[in-house]
Amino acid sequence: MTQSHVAIVTGASRGFGKALTAALLDRGWTVVVDARRGSDLKSTVAELNSGRLIPLPGDVTDASHRGALVSAATGAGPLRLLVNNASRLGPSPQPALADYPPDELRAVYEANVFAPLALIRAALPALTANAGTIVNVTSDAALEPYPGWGGYGSSKAALDQLSAILAAEVPAVAVYAFDPGDMRTEMHQAAFPGEDISDRAEPEAKVPALLHLLDTRPPAGRYRAADSVVSGARS
């Protein structure tokens, strides 16, 4: 029997990670997923109901958990995709940088910068051997100076630069920073406490742009779902 391609998607119990996982399963992938909240992950597994879904509850900032993710993935078949989707917003409401609690800022960087890089390093031998793809989910807050977004935004800016440098250093692997844009998610609601975010798109609406990126494998770079990704537009 031919083994299916294997992906790791972090933060996959809800939102964009869950929507992407469902799409990959529909395409025949085996997907190793994680989430910090085990109960949410259990519900997602029951909903998606696929024998090719391998759930591992845990926190990507934990080294042993990252090792377990890579071991599960490489044990299931050729690892061809890593999606660093798990993120930490920080305090809600978000504080100004001058008032940002140092411990909270460190936690944001741990989740949004150091953990993705560490997971990349652990998965890189397999991804290199399989000419795989790395997708680091980013945000327009990495580019725009929105008041109150100093912690999350600067961490995503660091992730963008890590993605660009990694792409230059490891040409055998396609490395993308992917900005899905505003979505109707729990994290986005936490970023705007008390506001109505029902006008934001559902995460499922953003998945086709990323799937097209995977299908066409354009040059490494930063891509936005809002751009004409279907025609290979680059941002």
Tell me how many domains the chain contains. Answer: 1
> What is the pLDDT, as a whole number, of residue 75?
97
How many other CB atoms sit within 10 Å of the CB of residue 29? 21
Say if 45 falls within a structural domain: yes
Q: Is residue 65 part of a domain?
A: yes
Q: Is residue 19 part of a domain?
A: yes
**Per-residue confidence in pLDDT tens, the chain, 235 aa:** 356 799 999 999 999 999 999 999 999 999 999 999 999 999 999 999 999 999 999 999 999 999 999 999 999 999 999 999 999 999 989 999 999 999 999 999 999 999 999 999 999 999 999 999 999 999 999 999 999 999 999 999 999 999 999 999 999 999 999 999 876 556 655 566 666 657 666 889 999 999 999 999 999 999 999 884 443 333 3
179 located within any domain = yes
Residue-level pLDDT at 232:
38
Return the pLDDT at 3.
Answer: 63
Tell me what pLDDT residue 24 has: 98
The answer as to whether 1 is a domain residue is no
Residue 182: predicted pLDDT: 75
In a domain, 46, yes or no: yes
The pLDDT, as a whole number, for residue 121 is: 98
Domain assignment present for 214: yes
Q: Is the residue at 41 inside a domain?
A: yes
- The domain that holds 212 is classified in CATH as 3.40.50.720
Domain of residue 137 covers 6-231
